[in-house]
Amino acid sequence: MSSFRAQVGRATGLEVRNGELITAGIAGSLEPEFAVLIAELDSARYAISGEIAAAANTGGEPYAVNLIVVDAERNRSSDLMTVPLDPRNPAPAVDELAAAVATFTSAAVELPKGDAALFVSSEPGEAQVFVDGVSIGRTSQLDVAMLAPGRYRLELRKEGFLPDARMIELRAGDTSFVHVVMTAISGGSIQVTATPRANVLLDGVPGGTTPVALSALPGTHRVTLQRDGFVEETFEVLVRNYLVTRLDATLTPVSVPLVYWAERREVHVSIDGEPQHGSYAVGLKPGLRTFELTGPQGARSYLRAVPDTGVYELDLSTGELLPR
């Protein structure tokens, strides 16, 4: 814990105290309300509460650290952060959690103002509304938000319901009306994102394609990510009642360099005259390569330089190789 406090201080630039007035029961809680109480008792803006728990016996690390961070001044709380812990080498867990805390404390708390209007409603009402991670209030109480034109990530949360997250495009001089029908859950939820997009299995059962929010009963669950051309990976994820656990993964390619493209598509890909039957180039060698894309718009051919290493997505619209 002393290492974690020191690393959080270095990562955030904030003074870190150990909460002398806080009881063990409150300090180990994973409820935002108790974490806010910690901040108030210690006259602080931010507070952390959490636990070190035994992990499920699945061949991974023996322990896991679970914690949340709150901003008592702005009435914000993080999702549940959970990372594996090897007591013989705690540095990786310390570094990952400290970086996550720094991300939370440095997050923008103001949105750019402009002439693009957004009105959000939900069923049921009283859902907390976040735009690019900034809380703007609750449905049934919200007025029209006036923001700068552009793309935003809209997320609604309500205790007992699955979070709903989507991208929205706001245009100058227009009003966007968004109505969200929320799905009731028993337990908590897991929000999964991956680079690149991947198929998700929750405890071996298909759960859709990232980004996806999955409801789950309290306890430890196994989330498996699968993508053609990348190593299959499985993560242990702790779920708590009415809390959101976020899993963000970057998949490992089976070889490098690797060029992949959309799995579901109407465009057929050939490289140097060889048809590609999957969604990535098998045995691709570095150098100048001819990519031929055949689809509803006809056949298009592009000469592209494949680097010696790295992972690239082939844009099936433009033929560009986009680094990932």
| pLDDT greater than 70 at residue 60 | no
- Element (H or E) spanning 226, and its range? strand 219-226
| pLDDT greater than 60 at residue 239 | yes
**Under 8 Å between Cβ of 254 and 234:** no
Q: What pLDDT, on a 0 to 100 scale, did the predictor assign at position 178?
A: 96
Region 118-128 average pLDDT: 93
| pLDDT greater than 80 at residue 264 | no
Give the chain's domains with CATH numbers: 2-105 (no CATH), 116-184 (2.60.40.1120), 188-250 (2.60.40.1120), 258-323 (2.60.40)
- Reading the block at residue 157, the tokens are 């949360």
- The most distant pair of C-alpha atoms in the chain lies apart, rounded to whole Å, by 71
The predicted model scores a pTM of 0.56
> How many Å apart are CA 18 and CA 2, to the nearest integer?
9
298-306 vs 287-295, strand pairing mode:
antiparallel
Which of 118-127, 132-141, 289-298 has the least mean pLDDT?
A: 132-141
Residue 211 CA: distances (Å) to CA of 56, 255, 278: 25, 24, 22
Q: What pLDDT, on a 0 to 100 scale, did the predictor assign at position 105?
A: 87
Q: What pLDDT, on a 0 to 100 scale, did the predictor assign at position 56?
A: 57
